Structure formats: structure tokens, C-alpha cells
Amino acid sequence: MSYGARVIVGVNGSLHSLTALHRAAAEARARGAVLVPVLAWTPVGGERNYRAQPCPPLLRVWEDAARTRLDRALEEAFGGLPIGVAVEPMVVRGQAGPVLTGLAERPGDLLVVSTGRQDGARGRLRRLLPGSVTRHCLNRARCGVLAVPPSGLLDDLRALHRGIDLRELVAA
């Protein structure tokens, strides 16, 4: 194990980010590295609006809400903290892409991000837009980046859902 090896993963609570979180935990175990799940957040309305009318108590509420979202994501993914790996969860104020690439600065780091939805042309177009967190990380990271595609489970659930008449479930 190299001293200070880290696997940093962006988390927002979506199914896609939970898939990336699972992959990051597996990578951290295999590398003997610390797992660093990161939830980046910004004030509601954006930084510019907050600077125009700052409200520190409200800022604390938003940060607490971000911590709760990260805790909930870890709970949903692993039932708490993952077993067999050191974990250092972080909640950081800022845009996700710059936060993640700023943290993943060491050559031995691995940055894990979700590729998000892959639903045809709209998904491909969205990933090419300048605001894409994945695109930002792939273009600017100073370490290795692992882009994790969505789990096939979501497609299976959608297919199952289309095959069920919800009226039958309500009548039962």
C-alpha cells in the first residue's frame, strides 16, 4: 500500500452515483487505499446570489442538508460505512467538477465518477455539454479517472415496470 493512496468518488445520492460509489469502494479495497466519498454542494440559487445576500444561518442549514445526503447515500449503498476499507467522507462547498479535480491532485489518486444517464441521444448530448461533471473531470484531473457507466439494474427495473399494470397492484 502506498502511503496516502486515495480513491475519491463523487456522490450526489442518485442511483448512478451509488453505482460509482460501489465501484470506488471495490477499487479502494483492491488498492489498499482510503475511500473518499465527496458530496459537493452550492447555496440554493448559486454562489453569486448568496454573495449578494449572505445569510450564515441558512448556509449552515444547507451544509447540514448536504451532510445528511452523503450519510443517506452511504446508508443506501452499504447500510452505513463500507466494510474492509478506510473511509473519509467529505462535504465540500463548490461545483462538483472543480471540487473533485481539486481534491484528486496526487498522482496516486484515482477519481471515480458516474457517467450518469445513458438514454440515447439526449444522454450523449448532455455528457458533451461544458457543464458535465464527468467531462470536467476527464479533461482536468491530474490523476487517473474511472468513469463508471450506469448499472444495468435500472434498465431492468424500467423494463419490469413497463410490463406491470399498476391497476392490478392497487386492486390486490
Q: How do residues 80-123 score in pLDDT, each as one tens digit?
A: 999 999 999 999 999 999 999 999 998 899 999 998 754 444 55
Residue 7: all three cell numbers together? 480513491
Residue 116: predicted pLDDT? 74
Q: Strand, helix or coil at 36?
A: strand
Q: Which of 150, 145, 146 is nearest to 120 (CA)?
A: 150
pTM here is 0.81
Locate all alpha helices (DSSP H) within the chain, ordered by sequence.
Answer: 15-31, 47-52, 56-78, 96-103, 121-128, 133-140, 152-162, 166-171
Distance CA 82, CA 21 (A): 10
Calpha distance 114→151 (Å, rounded)? 10
> Quick one: pLDDT at residue 97?
96
Superfamily name and number for 6-171? HUPs (3.40.50.620)
Which one has a higher pLDDT value, 115 or 152?
A: 115
**Ramachandran sector of residue 132 (left: φ over 0; alpha: ψ -120 to 50; beta: rest):** beta
- Assess whether pLDDT exceeds 50 at residue 9: yes
